[in-house]
Amino acid sequence: MNEKLPCSRREFFHKTIAFSAAAYGASLLGWPGNLLAQDAAFPDLVAVKNGEPDVMLDKAMTAIGGMSRFVQKGQTVIVKPNIGWNREPETGADTNPLLVKRVIEHCLQAGAKKVYVFDHVIDESAAEKTYAISGIENAAKSAGAIVAPAHDKKYYQEIEIPNATRLKKTSVHELAFESDVLINVPVLKHHMASSLTIAMKNLMGIVWDRNDWHAKGLNTCIAEFCLYKKPTLNIVDAYAVTMKNGPHRARQEDLDYKKTLLVSTDIVAIDAAATKVFGSDPANISFIKQAHDLGVGNMNLDALKIERIAL
Beta bridge partners of 256: 241
Please report whether residue 4 resides in a domain.
Answer: no
Evaluate whether residue 188 is within a structural domain. yes
**Which pLDDT tens digits describe the chain residue by residue (311 residues)?**
445 454 444 344 344 434 433 333 343 446 655 444 457 799 999 999 999 999 999 999 999 999 999 999 999 999 999 998 889 999 999 999 999 999 999 999 999 999 999 999 988 888 999 999 999 999 999 999 999 999 999 999 999 999 999 999 999 999 998 899 999 999 999 988 899 999 999 999 999 999 999 999 999 999 999 999 899 999 999 999 999 987 777 688 889 999 999 999 999 999 999 999 999 999 999 999 999 999 999 999 999 999 999 99
In a domain, 2, yes or no: no
Residues 71-108 pLDDT 10s: 999 999 999 999 988 899 999 999 999 999 999 999 99
For residue 171, tell me if it sits in a domain: yes
CATH number for position 73: 3.40.50
> 1 lies in a domain?
no
Q: What are phi and psi of 190, to 5 degrees?
A: -65, 145
What does the pLDDT read at residue 251?
80
8 A C-beta contact, residue 155 and residue 127: no
3 within a domain of the structure (yes/no): no
The number of distinct structural domains making up the chain is 1
Q: Determine the structural domain holding residue 128 and report its residue range.
A: 9-310
CB atoms within 10 A of CB 306: 15
The residues that bridge with 197 in the sheet, in sequence order, are 189
Residue 29 lies in a domain: yes
Give the CA distances from residue 283 to residues 81, 269, 271, in Å, rounded to whole numbers and listed in that order.
25, 12, 11
For residue 67, tell me if it sits in a domain: yes
Task: Specify the pLDDT at position 9.
Answer: 42
